[in-house]
């Protein structure tokens, strides 16, 4: 009776739940993807500055556990950092703590966002925007000094 049993109000772990995002390029069913996401040790990290280094990412994300690998996201054309990365942990629990406590905090003065990733595959380190960077930088209208200034659409005007 004792060691078993908890209360649903205490089970809530919303920071660890899956987001709405699903990778459109994922090879496999939605179900497959979700299954992988639920046991993944890899996080996608977004809204990084183009100048944020692997070392900074390692230092911050190392606070929730031992990191297996950091893979920097690159502009497909320029092969330079384009503002995202993947962080893979050895243990799922460490990735969960990153979702609970590092997601939504600052790195390089920017609020970064983490999300579960189904696992790194060659090619996924490249931005999918037409100009080579991330899609979000193709169309944005604002000026962001850490992400190449204006969005590509604005720059081409």
Partner 1 sequence: MSRRRHSDDSDGQPHKRRRTSEPSEIEERLESLICRVGEKSNSSLESNLEGLAGVLEADLPNYKSKILRILCTVARLLPEKLTVYTTLVGLLNARNYNFGGEFVEAMIRQLKECLKVNMYNQAVHLVRFLSDLVNCHVIAAPSMVAMFENFVSVTQEEDVPQVRCDWYVFAFLSSLPWVGKELYEKKDAEVDRLLSQTESYLKRRQKIHVPMLQVWTADKPHPQEEGPVMPGSHSVERFVIEENLHCIIKSHWKERKTCAAQLLSYPGNNKIPLNYHIVEVIFAELFQLPSPPHIEVMYTTLLIELCKLQPGSLPQVLAQATEMLYMRLDTMNTTCVDRFINWFSHHLSNFQFRWSWEDWSDCLTQDLEKPKPKFVREVLEKCMRLSYHQRIIDIVPASFSVLSPANPVCIYKYGDESNRSLPGYTVALCLTIAIKNKASNDEIFSILKDVPNPNQDDDDDEGFSFNPLKIEVFVQTLLHLAAKSFSHSFSALAKFHEVFKTLAESDEGKLHVLRVVYEVWKNHPQMIAVLVDKMIRTQIVDCAAVANWIFSSELAHDFTRFYIWEILHSTIRKMNKHVLKIHKELEETKARLARQHKRRDSDDDDDDDDRSSDREDGPLEEQIERLQEKVESAQSEQKNLFLVIFQRFIMLLTEHLVRCETGGIDVFTPWYRSCIERLQQIFLQHHQIIQQYMVTLENLLFTAELDHHILAVFQQFCALQA
Interface residue with partner 1 among 72, 74, 82, 112 (CB under 8 A) is 72
Tell me: does residue 118 bind partner 1 (CB under 8 A): no
**1/145 with CB nearer partner 1:** 1
Q: Which of 40, 42, 64, 134 binds partner 1 (CB under 8 A)?
A: 64
Taking CB under 8 A as the rule, does residue 59 contact partner 1? yes
CB of 95 to partner 1, least distance (A): 13
Pick one of 23, 36, 46, 53: the residue that binds partner 1 (CB under 8 A).
53
Query: From the list 28, 35, 54, 130, which residue makes contact with partner 1 (rule: CB under 8 A)?
Result: 54
- Could you write out the three-class secondary structure of the chain? CCCCCCCHHHHCCHHHCCCCCCCCCCCCCHHHHHHHHHHCCEEEEECCCCCCCHHHHHHHHHHHCCEEEEEEEECCCCCCEEEEEEEEECCHHHHHHHHHHCCCCEECCEECEEEEECCCCCCCCECCCCCCCCHHHHHCCCCEHHHCECCHHHHCC
The interface with partner 1 within residues 123-152 (CB under 8 A) comprises none
Contact 94, 28 (CB under 8 A): no
| 101 interacts with partner 1 by CB under 8 A | yes
Give the tokens for residue 145: 């000094």
Binding site for partner 1 (CB under 8 A): 1-3, 5-10, 12-16, 53-56, 58-60, 63-64, 66, 70-72, 97, 100-102, 105-109
């Amino acid at each position: 009776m004792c060691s078993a049993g908890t209360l649903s109000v205490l089970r809530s772990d919303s920071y660890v739940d899956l987001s709405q995002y699903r990778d459109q390029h994922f090879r496999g069913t939605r179900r497959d993807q979700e299954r992988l996401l639920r046991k993944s040790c890899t996080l996608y990290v977004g809204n990084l500055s183009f100048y944020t280094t692997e070392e900074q990412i390692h230092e911050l994300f190392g606070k929730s556990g031992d990191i297996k690998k950091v893979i920097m996201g690159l502009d497909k054309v320029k092969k330079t950092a384009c503002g995202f990365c993947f962080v893979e942990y050895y243990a799922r629990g460490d990735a969960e703590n990153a979702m609970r406590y590092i997601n939504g905090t600052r790195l390089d003065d920017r609020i970064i966002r983490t999300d579960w990733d189904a696992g790194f595959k060659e090619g996924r380190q490249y931005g999918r925007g037409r100009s080579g960077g991330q899609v979000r930088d193709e169309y944005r209208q604002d000026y962001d000094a850490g992400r190449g200034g204006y969005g590509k659409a604005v720059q081409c005007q």
